[in-house]
Amino acid sequence: MEKLLLLALGGSAGALSRYGLAGLVHKIFGGTFPLGTFVVNMCGCLFFGLVWGFLENRTILGPAARTAVLTGFMGAFTTFSTYIFESSSLLRDGQWWSAIANIAGQTVLGLVLLTAGLFLARLIP
| pLDDT tens digits, 19-35 | 999 999 999 999 999 99
Spans of all domains in the chain: 2-123
Residue type, 98: S
The answer to whether 18 and 78 have CB atoms below 8 angstroms apart is yes
DSSP state of 61: S
Q: What is the pTM of this model?
A: 0.77
User: What pLDDT is stored for residue 46 in this prediction?
Assistant: 92
Residue type, 60: I
Give the pLDDT confidence of 107-122 residue by residue, as tens digits.
Answer: 999 999 999 999 999 9
75 is in an annotated binding site: yes
Distance CA 98, CA 120 (A): 31
Residue 56, pLDDT above cutoff 80: no
* pLDDT grade for 62, boundaries at 50, 70 and 90: confident
Is 44 annotated as ligand-binding?
A: no
Q: What is the pLDDT of residues 67-99, one digit of tens each?
A: 888 889 988 998 788 889 899 999 999 999 999
Give the list of residues 6+ apart from residue 22 with CB closer than 8 angstroms, or none: 36, 37, 39, 40, 79
User: What is the distance of C-alpha 22 from the center of its chain?
Assistant: 11
